[in-house]
Amino acid sequence: MRLSFDKIALIALTVTMALGFLVFTTSPTFSFLGTKVFLLMFGTLVALALYVIARLIRGNIVVPPSFLLGAIWLVPLAYALSMLFSGANPSIAFFGTEFESSTFGFILMLAVVATLFALVLRREKDYSFFFSWTARIFGLLAVLQILFVAVARLAPGVIAPLSNLIGSFSDMGMLAGLGVIGALLALRFLTLGRLNALLVKIGLVLGFVLLALVNASLVWILVFIVALGLMIEVLMRRRSGSTDADIEGVTMLSLEAEDSAYEHRPIGLPLIVLVISLFFLIGWSTIGNAISSAAGTSFIDVRPSWKATFNVGSHTLASSPLFGSGPGTFGEQWLLHRDRALNDTIFWSVDFVSGIGFVPTSMVTTGILGILAWLAFLGAFIFAGVRTLLLRLPEERSVRFVSVLSFIGSAYVLALAVFSTPGPVVLVAGFALLGVFISSMRYGKGRVELGIIFSRNPRVGFVIVFLLTILLLATVFAAYAVTVRYLSSIAYGQAGAALSRGDLPAADAAINRSLSFAKTDHAYRLAAAIGVAHMNDIASSDTLAPPDAQTQFQVALSASLQAADAATKLAPHNYQNWLALGGVYQSVVPLKIEGASEQADAAYRAAADLAPSNPAIPFTLAQLDIVAGDYPTAETHLLESITLKRDYTQAILLYSQLQVQLGKADEALQAVEAAIYFAPNDPAALFQAGVLRLSTGDKAGSIQALGRAVELNARYANARFFLAVAQAVSGNNEAAIAELEAVAALSEENAAAVAEDLAALKEGKNPYPLARLRTLGVPYPPVSEPEPDAVAE
């Protein structure tokens, strides 16, 4: 077979899709989704370069006759305008952290993918090559995924049940639904040999197995709709089963189907798919959940509701109606405008970066221009699809199948994009099918293609060659930018791994490499964290001379502050950058460094302005106030945190401890009792309640709380010790001895610490007089009771 640049471009596109589907990594250094998106982007750029070279060699450009090809580019155009004029950071709007699907760079890639598939695939053999290999990839993907689940059930330590090749288990279900639809349409519209038909049917069964494991209601609905539509189509085109006697005397308008090109197929297969889909839809929360739970593949797909998405969008568009907040900035708007009632749910700490669906999210971030662009594109798609299916379907059977499959498949993915948040692999697959659909329109009735042979016209040719050359150079530049960004991501992962294992020199080297490739705010945050780790190591070192330690500490502090400050300047609307800066300053507040407390407070307040409903920020401010010794202000911040989240047990417990410091034992006990109400199985809360109850003379309540804490955590040494104290002052000698012996058994240090107390108890003496209780941290014990000299027998 003679290879041309056009053919190599088609191969490059097919290989790119295969890599996007099948590449799998568990290394913490290589981001799973980041690697997939890099391969998809780089492969797309390679295919684009090959296509441009082919055009320069052939001297012509041929395009299918579809306005839909132009409508696709309305969406990236709206993203580009939003990126330039919304006020968002252009680097973040273009790249994001790892080319997230909400960024301009990713949307641009989707448009390029659709355009390339529309232009590169021109012949029936091109369609056959692409879809035959795609079918193999889907089959391999289904087999591997089912093996993952089986191995996870048989050997749980080898792989997790939700491990998958796509990015998320939800995305796996979306692709499984696309595979089921493709197999169903192939069996309906293609004449397959016995072996190929068997393989397609096996693929259909595997797809249903995956759908049952994922159990996504939206996917079941879409598969049901496709099966219903196909069953109706089969019924409409079936030959009449009536005999001539049945219609004797009846004037018939037509006895034959309008389009004899269709082969009449049995209705059984669409009906089976319809019934299975309906069965799982009805039993989604019962049978479906039971199957996924038994397989260990049940998961929660958490997204903001339609109401929450529109609420964020209304606030955003009120301040920036035309361009929105900028690509990739939904998370910032979510933090500013989310409903505070979310703090009463288990998802209070989740920073959502998208809304209910991919398209609604982009409408928020790109404003009215984005809304109009999406509506125009979707309207053009629906119009072109309906017109093609009803009036201009290709006559050739194989191309007809390609046209129907590519339209329904791309419509399926676009529906997912409206009502859900498909991952990058699913979106690329959908836009690839969109390009194939546009390509197939050249085979519609009339068989029209548009083209220009610019090599025969020097003037026009010069302009087109110049533009193609610029496009080729831009492709090379884009490939370089994508590669550099990916290398930065790899170095970032290496730095994080090195920091987690305490290898600070390696972490320094890796984060410097990451920043040399691309300056990102998350890399600067990690650099600041590495600097703080250096400071902790220096402060705890007993080998450095004081002058050397002081010099190295100042260098580490300066580097950490510079990195955190750079993060806030690069992405000032990301509250995590301000928290990082505040954390660096707070780490040196105990050292009484001038201005550190004030700078930390200012950084935390900047974070609070960006996330006003986050209760963790006033809690952090309270911690800073306590370190600085400003107890009244700390009390105010803790009350603010608890107001934002009534069951914030960390804040409640800290508030209780603060009340003890302020001499308010009763208020402290009330606070800790509230914490126990919200977290009845929290050993820390029970421990604090036990100590406070002991201080108020409630010995029985103290024993009950401390006993429950020990029951929940048998190695909770402090709880066992104070349980022994409560038992001793209550006269329960044997119980106190048992608890102290349990404490001693936990470690040699514990045994040495309680040896004297244990000996006193065995001698019948009370080792815990009131003065001793105060030194143990039991606040304000009741002085009206006489102090027993010995424990009662």
CA distance 486 to 45: 15
Which pLDDT value is given to residue 726?
A: 87
Asked whether residue 198 is domain-assigned, the answer is yes
CA distance 753 to 733: 19
- Given a cut of 50, whether residue 16 has pLDDT beyond it is yes
Give the rounded percent of residues in the chain with a pLDDT score beyond 70.
93
Which pLDDT value is given to residue 729?
A: 84
Which pLDDT value is given to residue 789?
A: 38
Q: What is the pTM of this model?
A: 0.86
CA distance 575 to 331: 10
Asked whether residue 117 is domain-assigned, the answer is yes
> Last residue of a domain, which of 452, 473, 495?
452
Residue 62, beta-bridge partner list: 451
Between strands 450-452 and 61-63, the pairing is: antiparallel
Asked whether residue 226 is domain-assigned, the answer is yes
Q: Name the nearest CA neighbour of 77 among 447, 369, 354, 284.
A: 369
110 pLDDT band, cuts 50/70/90, is very high
SS3 63: strand
- Percent of residues in the chain assigned helix, strand, coil, to nearest 5: 75, 0, 25
Residues 6+ apart with CB under 8 A from 76: 104, 107, 108, 110, 111
Q: Name the nearest CA neighbour of 584 among 552, 553, 618.
A: 553
SS3 790: strand
Which pLDDT value is given to residue 357?
A: 94
User: Within its chain, how far is the Cα of 624 from the centroid?
Assistant: 31
CA distance 331 to 77: 22
Of all helices (H) and strands (E), which one includes residue 426? helix 424-440
SS3 695: helix
**What are the b/e assignments for 278-307, b being 16+ CB within 10 Å?**
bebeeeeeeebeebbeebebbbeeebbeee
Q: Is residue 566 domain-shared with residue 441, that is, in the same domain?
A: no
Give the 3-state DSSP-derived string for 629-657, with helices as H, strands as E and coil as C: CCHHHHHHHHHHHHHHCCCCHHHHHHHHH
State the total domains in the chain. 2
Residue 450, beta-bridge partner list: 63
Q: Is residue 446 domain-shared with residue 529, that is, in the same domain?
A: no
Look up the CATH number of the domain holding residue 542: 1.25.40
* Helices (H) then strands (E): counts for the chain: 33, 2
> Last residue of a domain, which of 418, 437, 452?
452
CA distance 503 to 513: 16
Which pLDDT value is given to residue 593?
A: 86
Asked whether residue 566 is domain-assigned, the answer is yes
What Rg, from alpha-carbon coordinates, does the chain have? 34
Residue 790, beta-bridge partner list: 765
pLDDT, tens digit, for every residue of 65-99?
Answer: 778 999 999 999 999 999 999 888 888 888 888 78
Are the C-beta atoms of residues 527 and 515 closer than 8 Å to each other? Answer: yes
DSSP string for residues in 537-553: HHHH-SSS-HHHHHHHH
Helix extents (H) in 215-329: 217-237, 268-282, 289-295, 306-319
Asked whether residue 116 is domain-assigned, the answer is yes
Give backbone dihedrals phi and psi of 450, rounded to 5 degrees, phi first. -110, 140
Q: Is residue 447 domain-shared with residue 525, that is, in the same domain?
A: no
Q: Is residue 130 domain-shared with residue 220, that is, in the same domain?
A: yes
DSSP string for residues in 465-493: HHHHHHHHHHHHHHHHHHHHHHHHHHHHH
Please compute the mean of the pLDDT values over residues 580-595 and round it to a whole number: 90
CA distance 534 to 640: 34
> Last residue of a domain, which of 580, 614, 648?
614
Place of tokens 């509250």: 575
CA distance 401 to 432: 16
Angle subtended at Cα 18 by Cα 16 and Cα 24, rounded to the nearest 5 degrees = 105
CA distance 401 to 189: 6
* Lowest-confidence region among 385-389, 657-661, 776-780: 776-780
Tell me the average pLDDT of the chain.
87
Range of the domain at 341: 60-237+264-452
Please compute the mean of the pLDDT values over residues 386-400 and round it to a whole number: 87
HSE of 36, CA atoms in CB hemisphere, 13 A: 25
Asked whether residue 674 is domain-assigned, the answer is no
Which pLDDT value is given to residue 157?
A: 75
* Lowest-confidence region among 246-260, 301-315, 527-541, 581-595: 246-260
Which pLDDT value is given to residue 721?
A: 86
Please compute the mean of the pLDDT values over residues 315-340 and round it to a whole number: 91
**Side chain identity, residue 198:** L
CA distance 289 to 282: 12
Angle between helices 74-85 and 358-391 in degrees, nearest 10: 160
Which pLDDT value is given to residue 249?
A: 56
Q: Is residue 184 domain-shared with residue 330, that is, in the same domain?
A: yes
779 pLDDT band, cuts 50/70/90, is low
Q: Is residue 418 domain-shared with residue 291, that is, in the same domain?
A: yes
Beta strands per DSSP E along 381-460:
450-452
CA distance 690 to 685: 9
CA distance 42 to 21: 15
Q: Is residue 434 domain-shared with residue 553, that is, in the same domain?
A: no
Q: Is residue 438 domain-shared with residue 543, that is, in the same domain?
A: no
Length in residues, the chain: 793
- Cα–Cα distances in Å, from 478 out to 48, 79, 487? 11, 17, 14
**Side chain identity, residue 106:** F
Which pLDDT value is given to residue 410?
A: 96
Angle subtended at Cα 455 by Cα 449 and Cα 458, rounded to the nearest 5 degrees = 125
Asked whether residue 738 is domain-assigned, the answer is no
HSE of 652, CA atoms in CB hemisphere, 13 A: 25
Which pLDDT value is given to residue 792?
A: 31
Beta strands per DSSP E along 12-112:
61-63
Asked whether residue 709 is domain-assigned, the answer is no
CA distance 563 to 507: 14
Q: Is residue 540 domain-shared with residue 447, that is, in the same domain?
A: no
pLDDT, tens digit, for every residue of 291-305?
Answer: 888 888 888 888 898
Residue 501: CB atoms within 10 A of its CB come to: 9
Angle subtended at Cα 792 by Cα 788 and Cα 793, rounded to the nearest 5 degrees = 160
Q: Is residue 447 domain-shared with residue 529, that is, in the same domain?
A: no
Q: Is residue 420 domain-shared with residue 567, that is, in the same domain?
A: no
CA distance 203 to 183: 7
CA distance 557 to 693: 43
Q: Is residue 573 domain-shared with residue 446, that is, in the same domain?
A: no
